[in-house]
Amino acid sequence: MKFSGLIFANLFRKKIRLLLTIGSFAVALFLFAFLAVVNDVFSRGADIASADRLFVINRTSIINPIPLADRDKMLRIPGVKMVTHDNWFGGIYQDEKNFFPQFVIDPENQRQVFPELMVSDEEWKNFLKDRQGAIVGARTAERFGWKIGDRIPLKTTIWGSGNWEFNIEGLYHGKRPQDDETQFWFQWDYFQEHVPDAQKGQVGWYIVRVDSPDDAVRVAKSIDAEFANSPYETKTETESAFAASWVKQFGNIRFLIVTIGTVVFFTLLLVTGNTMAISVRERTPELAVLKALGFSDRTVLFFVLAESLVIALVGGLLGLLLAVLAMPVLTRALSGLLPQLVLAPSVFAFGFATALAVGLASGFWPGLGAMRLQIVNGLRRV
């Protein structure tokens, strides 16, 4: 393009200003990527939820239990393929800040209901043989440096008191990078042996796998109807609805993040718009000269837009690439508190497109001014 020389010469007119403007884009886009990733972590449950899984909890609240005896009634409902159950253990490993989720699982159905959390057959066999056996997500194992064969004590305050001892028999890995690899599983039978009598025979919640996702809503209604008017009424939701209501417990995180993100981009627009306006205004006579030489109004507008677009492009890419590089560092810094942070391509694309849009918008008003500039007035300002 024969005009590129002129466009780049104008860009580099004030190098500090150019650096600062590109920096504004980079910082804003980095922040955007970070917010998007946090949002992604919180809403991931809903995104990766399997369409053929239902969560059945006690109608009163998730901390109220449901009897194990209800399982057989559920299995008889048409459309139900498989049922498994979990309890929240909530034990403490050495110190409270070493949090990771621990579930009492039903070894018989766990792997069929959650096929995306993979354990080798060998390790699974060892796990079944060992009453105190545990399976740990790969990230939690890495976080504490656990290996197969390690003996892990967890202190409980919910199920009686004192330490429970476990042997790590295997690790599980998620099929997808977003899958949660922080959980700790152990066996229902071991749990039953040690909980106080009053808490025996009670599960935290059920997870139901249905024959067909299309049928999920109907099956959910049938389950709730089955237990209506019983001492343990249920609330059955699809996994994604369940995950969404789980996130809501932390407040409206999505709203918070969208608000911050909007403010960031709006501020960026004001800053770069102002910079472009100043940069165009201070060369009004030059623009008038270009027009006198025969450059059209549209070409002049194009020059200004091209300039702000190049800034947005470079700054935006820089910020996003830095964010990509920073993800592993951030994940490590949060030391396993959150699942693996991933900057999804769609987030990258959205951020990049928004940066370009901001670039275009910030160049638009000054560009329009340049386009409308009357040559004689521009020249008089010399």
Partner 1 sequence: MVRVDGSGGSNSLIQVRGLDKTYRRGGGEIRVLQGLNLDVDKGDFVAFMGPSGSGKTTLLNLLGGLDVPTRGTITVAGDEITHMSGHKLTEWRARHVGFVFQMYNLIPVLTAFQNVELPLLLTKLSKAQRRKHVETVLHVVGLADRMNHYPRQLSGGQEQRVAIGRAIVADPTFLLCDEPTGDLDRQSADEIMGLIEQLVKEYGKTVLMVTHDPVVARRAGRTLHLEKGLLAESAEPQGVAAGGRHEI
**Positions in the binding site for partner 1 (CB under 8 A):** 2-3, 5-6, 9-10, 12-13, 285-286, 289-297, 374-376, 379, 382
Nearest distance from residue 320's CB to partner 1, in Å? 29
Question: Which token pair is 286?
Answer: 């030059």
Nearest to 136 by CA among 113, 177, 169, 106: 169
Q: Residue 99: how many CA atoms within 13 Å on its side-chain side? A: 8
Give the span between the Cα atoms of 272 and 269, in whole angstroms: 5
Q: Which is nearer to partner 1, 6 or 62 (CB)?
A: 6
Q: How far from 272 is each of 14, 23, 252, 278, 365, CA to CA, in Å?
A: 14, 11, 31, 10, 11
Query: Do 315 and 26 touch, CB atoms closer than 8 A?
Result: yes
Question: Which token pair is 144?
Answer: 């504490």
Give the span between the Cα atoms of 364 and 361, in whole angstroms: 5
Q: Which is nearer to partner 1, 91 or 378 (CB)?
A: 378
Query: Do 275 and 17 touch, CB atoms closer than 8 A?
Result: yes
Q: Which is nearer to partner 1, 252 or 296 (CB)?
A: 296
Give the span between the Cα atoms of 251 and 263, in whole angstroms: 20
Nearest distance from residue 316's CB to partner 1, in Å? 24
Nearest distance from residue 143's CB to partner 1, in Å? 54
For the chain, helix (H) and strand (E) counts, in that order, are 14, 12
Q: Which is nearer to partner 1, 54 or 373 (CB)?
A: 373
Nearest distance from residue 290's CB to partner 1, in Å? 7
Nearest distance from residue 311's CB to partner 1, in Å? 16
Instruction: Please list the residues that pair with 187 across neighbouring strands.
Output: 105
Nearest distance from residue 321's CB to partner 1, in Å? 29
Nearest to 62 by CA among 250, 254, 242: 242
Q: Which is nearer to partner 1, 284 or 362 (CB)?
A: 284
Crossing angle of helices 253-281/284-293, nearest 10°?
70
Task: Say which DSSP state 340 is in.
Answer: P
Nearest distance from residue 275's CB to partner 1, in Å? 17
Q: Which is nearer to partner 1, 11 or 56 (CB)?
A: 11
Give the span between the Cα atoms of 175 and 179, in whole angstroms: 7
Nearest distance from residue 22's CB to partner 1, in Å? 18
Q: Which is nearer to partner 1, 12 or 255 (CB)?
A: 12
Q: Which is nearer to partner 1, 20 or 375 (CB)?
A: 375
Q: How far is CA 247 from the centre of its chain?
A: 11
Q: Which is nearer to partner 1, 46 or 368 (CB)?
A: 368
Nearest distance from residue 291's CB to partner 1, in Å? 7
Query: Do 254 and 39 touch, CB atoms closer than 8 A?
Result: yes
